[in-house]
Amino acid sequence: MTGPVLQALLSHWRTHRLQVVTLLVGIALATGLWSAVQAINAEARASYARASQQLGLGQFEELRARSGFIALSRYVDLRRAGWQVAAVLDGRLYVGNRAVRVLGVDMLAYPALPALTETAPDQAPQDPAQMLTAPGRLVVAPALARLLQDRDDLPPRIPSDAIPADVILTDIGVAEVLLDRQGQISRLIVLPQQPIGRPPLDKIAPELVRHSPDRQVDTARLADSFHLNLSAFGLLAFAVGLFIVHGTVGLAFAQRRGMIRTLRAMGVPMRRLVWITLAELTAFALAGGLIGLVLGYLIAGALLPDVAVTLRGLYGAPVEGHLTLRPLWALTGIGMALAGTLGASGHALWRLSRMPLLSGPGLRAWGGNARARSMAAAAGVILILGGIASFAGTKGLIAGFGLLAAILTGAALLLPLVLSWVLSALSRRARHPVTQWVWADMQAQLPGLSLALMALLLALAANIGVGTMVSSFRLTFTGWLDQRLTSELYVTPTSQDQGAQMMEWLGPRADAVLPIRSTELPHRTGPLFLYGIVDDATYRNKWPLIASGPDVWDRVHAGRAVLINEQLARRADLWPGDSLTLSGDHDLPIAGVYSDYGNPTGQAIVSMQRLDQIAPGTPTRRIGVRIDPAQAANLSRDLQDRFELPPGAVVHLSTMKAQSLAIFDQTFVVTSALNVLTLGVAGFAILTSLLTLWTQRLPQVAPLWGLGLTRSHIAGLEVLRSVLLATLTAALALPLGLVLAWLLLNVINVRAFGWSIPMTVFPADWLRLLVLTVLAAGAAAAIPAWRLRRLPPADLLRVFASER
Amino acid sequence: MLLKVDDVRKTYARTRPVLNGVSLALDTGQTLALTGESGSGKSTLLNLVGALDGFEGGEITLDGTKLSGLGDAGRAVLRRDTVSLVFQQFNLIPSLTVAGNLSFHARLAGRDDPAWTATLTQRLGLADLLERYPENLSGGQQQRVAIGRAMAMRPRLLLADEPTGNLDETASAVVLDLMLSLVAETGAALLLVTHSQDIAARLDRQARLVGGRIA
């Protein structure tokens, strides 16, 4: 029995080839965009894991000093007392404008270094002792080795594929010289095997604190929010794609009602029909899913290099720009295609399984009726209220995304009812019969088009929301850069001694010399970077404070208070009036909170004297130089000549700002790309809806032709109808998009990155988007309208003759 | 003469000629029944007279206008202002209510007369159905709306293609009575295609199409 039934059911697709294409494209687009995001995330996470594993990071307990670094003598004390520990010196070295992580380890004691042991034999040093003795060796990724090939001042390089990008692995003695941090240790790795009976830590080194591996904030955890944001976008694109699937399957099922009734009348059980239909859908899901995987792989391959640059720039995350095909990723993609297709078809399948043998709604009812519209709207309201209630209860990042999803889905469900109200109102005001018909016809077409319009609403709202967020962010960021980057020149000395000489040399030549020193301290919220600053009007006048108590700068410069960045304030819930514990005996009241965009970690600022007390001997990492901008270029040249500085050691303010903005823009390349792709999917959804509705359209427009409207006139009205519906949807998407932007700026960003941004609206962007939407809707309607315009009268006459 | 069909020929692609030199004439106030077997070309002739389709040879002159020289727009004007069509399939506008459908053609032609439309509504028994949509009407009700729509614009020529073909005997009689009385009152001409000899017998004249010609 199954064979003939299957043959009969499949014959539908033979005569409705456009539906086959639409269905496959819908599944492929949904799966493709979702899979692309997952491939990017998987690649990044694999890179983090590989780096951690290769460098033995985050696997062992660590000892850290509250003051920021551990003295070499303390290391010796611990080893002598029987503690099996390995020293690590971790720092940053600038190669041109690129920050490279230098990881200096005690090669003899370090517990696991696959990056070194897995180095190809032909690349390994002939004598392992060469690693330990001067000048030592630097193990680097081949790409970095090429970048360093002209640096004769550095030790010889050993290229290794096992080392993450932007990392230099070397012996701690070599790292000391490279980083100019003689006698300093960043942390001590506690080896798994420890002798019994060794003296307790607080007896030998009371200033050291133990950190278990799970308390160590690693790159993967820092970048989690970034990946979560990407996943949310992927899910949105997936949902928009599924609207196409839902609409197409619904129409195909409705068109086959007659056939199914006939099959049932011939004795085919409904259960059998449902199973066969399910198998048919599974086949479509597999085919569409496979196409989607190919699409996703190509999209991910195109986007990954930008994401890698972003992750390296933002978090120093070691992500490579190459994509690997992972079986789990492919399986998950197929799984999503199956789940999405069956989920999107569930309603149609359910209605089919309950279809009476002798009666039932006709084709017109496939998209739903007024009651279904009201029920969907009620579900939308419940969803929105549920999202708000759920967020009010937990207030976490996941709940924030839940709220976002609830508002978007709820608004989409409300759309048909709201559009119906608007069209009714417009219809009542219309006077000309054709105008009246246009409004009434749009209302009648709503059920068939509502899914595509929902997809368009989501895509437009996402576009407005994300666009407003990015533009607000950029505007704020640009203003913030003006406040934060105040010195005309930024100089990076090659050593501490050179820094001191430079300060002295610059003194009479500049308006102000602002040394910048920093050290890394442990904090319960993760690593905390403590900066020391000198008293200068530059800070007092320009520093971007977002919350402050009385006499902020007087108290900070007197060493009686600390400033913290917004990330730390929000994470630790510390605000002016509270106090921050920087180390055992340095408990300072918080005088103010400043914005610090683009930095994922906590930061605090104290006076230079206070920094020297907390972390004595902290080197000057960078020097800000205030000077008349017209003199900056001359001074830069003199400085480079005088101290024989490498290129990139002196950076002009404009260059620094341009670099910062370039990193910023890069961060949103992937978001913008996903945004455009989602809008494209929504445009395709409209096109497919109009094309599938085309089969039902002739009986509706033929009477008008019969009554004296030309085919061109009707075709024009068809385009106008599509454009008007898209415009109305765009008008409704605007408030939704602004709500989305507000949530992204004030809920998601705060929880994901720790900063909030004032929202700014950009009406010119909305206008551009509206024009794009109108063009997309017009283009989508152009094909059916063109077909109508060219339709021979004989085809229209068939409607009158009942030959269809 | 309101309508003059002179030696008209019509062929659909790759088939033998459907109309092979048809000629007839109809003046204002006259009614003509067009009969014939299925496929004899009755509906085709009606479509040509209604400016719905083009023809290869001969000429049709409607209210002084030669149809052979008209383009798409000219034909549309003729359909809008001069003729009204009533079909077996009713062909109401599904998105408009009965009230909207009734006045639609008259408003399109710029001849909306609310008093006349109200009279038609009463005469056709549609007063209680004005706010309903076509999908909620029976076949007889839909055909009465179609006749009301056609007559509301006071056409010079009413073209009806099997207007009772989808109706039962009682409904057919009611619809035909209404149509004939309204045509007589307005002074319009009527060209009606039918299979039924009984219906044809109620009109002023009959013409039978056989093999694409008037027999």
- What is the model's pLDDT at position B87? 83
The DSSP code for A584 is T
Using a pLDDT cut of 70, give the percent of chain A over it: 86
Residue A362 has pLDDT above 50, yes or no: no
Pairing of strands B65-66, A512-523: unpaired
Residue predicted with more confidence, A110 or B193: B193
- What is the model's pLDDT at position B7? 93
Look up residue A307 and give its amino acid.
V
- What is the model's pLDDT at position B23? 92
Please name the residue of chain B whose CA is at the shortest distance from the CA of residue A796.
Answer: B52
Residues of B at the A interface, defined by Cβ within 8 angstroms: 12, 43, 47, 50, 52-54, 72-73, 76-81, 85, 87-89, 91-96, 100, 103-105, 107-109, 135, 161
- What is the model's pLDDT at position A119? 55
**Number of Cβ pairs < 8 A linking chain A and chain B:** 92
Is residue B67 within 8 Å of B6, Cβ to Cβ? no
pLDDT band at A363 (very low <50, low <70, confident <90, very high): very low
Interface of A with B in 265-304 (CB under 8 A): none
* Encoded tokens for A13: 């697709």
- Contact between chains at A436 and B76 (C-beta distance less than 8 A): no
Mean pLDDT (whole number) for A131-136: 71
- What is the model's pLDDT at position A485? 76
- Range with lowest mean pLDDT among A97-111, A337-351, A462-476: A97-111
Residue A515 has pLDDT above 80, yes or no: yes
Residue A662 has pLDDT above 70, yes or no: yes
* Encoded tokens for B68: 């052979």
* Encoded tokens for A557: 């410069």
Please name the residue of chain B whose CA is at the shortest distance from the CA of residue A701.
Answer: B93
Residue A47 has pLDDT above 80, yes or no: no
- What is the model's pLDDT at position B34? 93
Residue A711 forms contact with B (CB below 8 Å): yes
- What is the model's pLDDT at position B160? 92
- Contact between chains at B92 and A703 (C-beta distance less than 8 A): yes
pLDDT digits 0-9 by tens, A580-595: 887 667 788 999 998 8
Residue A249 has pLDDT above 90, yes or no: no
Residue A548 has pLDDT above 80, yes or no: yes
Total domains present in chain B: 1
- What is the model's pLDDT at position A414? 93
Residue A513 has pLDDT above 70, yes or no: yes
pLDDT digits 0-9 by tens, A388-432: 988 888 777 788 888 888 998 899 999 999 999 999 888 888 888
In 3-state terms, what secondary structure has residue A564? strand
Contacts of B107 in chain A (CB under 8 A): 432-433
pLDDT band at A66 (very low <50, low <70, confident <90, very high): low
- What is the model's pLDDT at position A732? 92
Point out which residues pair with A564 in neighbouring strands. A593, A604
Q: At residue A187, what are phi and psi to the nearest 5 degrees?
A: -160, 165
Residue predicted with more confidence, A349 or B155: B155
- What is the model's pLDDT at position A446? 84
- What is the model's pLDDT at position A361? 46
Mutate which of A436, A442, A707, A710 to disrupt the B interface (most B C-beta within 10 Å)? A707
Mean pLDDT (whole number) for A110-124: 59
pLDDT digits 0-9 by tens, A673-709: 777 777 777 777 777 777 766 767 888 888 888 888 9
Q: What's the gap between Cα A723 and its chain centre?
A: 32
pLDDT digits 0-9 by tens, A296-313: 999 888 888 877 776 666
- What is the model's pLDDT at position A115? 55
**Which residues does chain B have with pLDDT short of 70?**
13-15
ipTM of the prediction: 0.77
The DSSP code for A578 is B
Of A364, A703, A711, the CB nearest to B93: A703
Mean pLDDT (whole number) for A713-722: 90
- What is the model's pLDDT at position A291? 95
pLDDT digits 0-9 by tens, A422-477: 998 888 888 888 998 899 888 888 877 787 788 888 888 888 888 888 888 778 77
Contacts of A444 in chain B (CB under 8 A): 94-95
- Contact between chains at A437 and B96 (C-beta distance less than 8 A): yes
Q: What's the gap between Cα A544 and its chain centre?
A: 26
In 3-state terms, what secondary structure has residue A205? coil
Instruction: For chain A, give the mean pLDDT.
Output: 80
Residue A434 forms contact with B (CB below 8 Å): yes
| Secondary structure string (H, E, C) spanning A227-267 | HHHHHHHHHHHHHHHHHHHHHHHHHHHHHCHHHHHHHHHCC
Strands (E), A452-585: 489-491, 512-523, 526-533, 545-548, 562-565, 579-583
Residue A790 forms contact with B (CB below 8 Å): no
- Name the residue range of residue B106's domain: 3-214
Residue A364 has pLDDT above 50, yes or no: no
- What is the model's pLDDT at position A125? 56
Question: What is the length of chain A?
Answer: 804
CATH number for the domain including B140? 3.40.50.300
Q: Which of A111-125, A205-219, B73-87 has the highest mean pLDDT?
A: B73-87
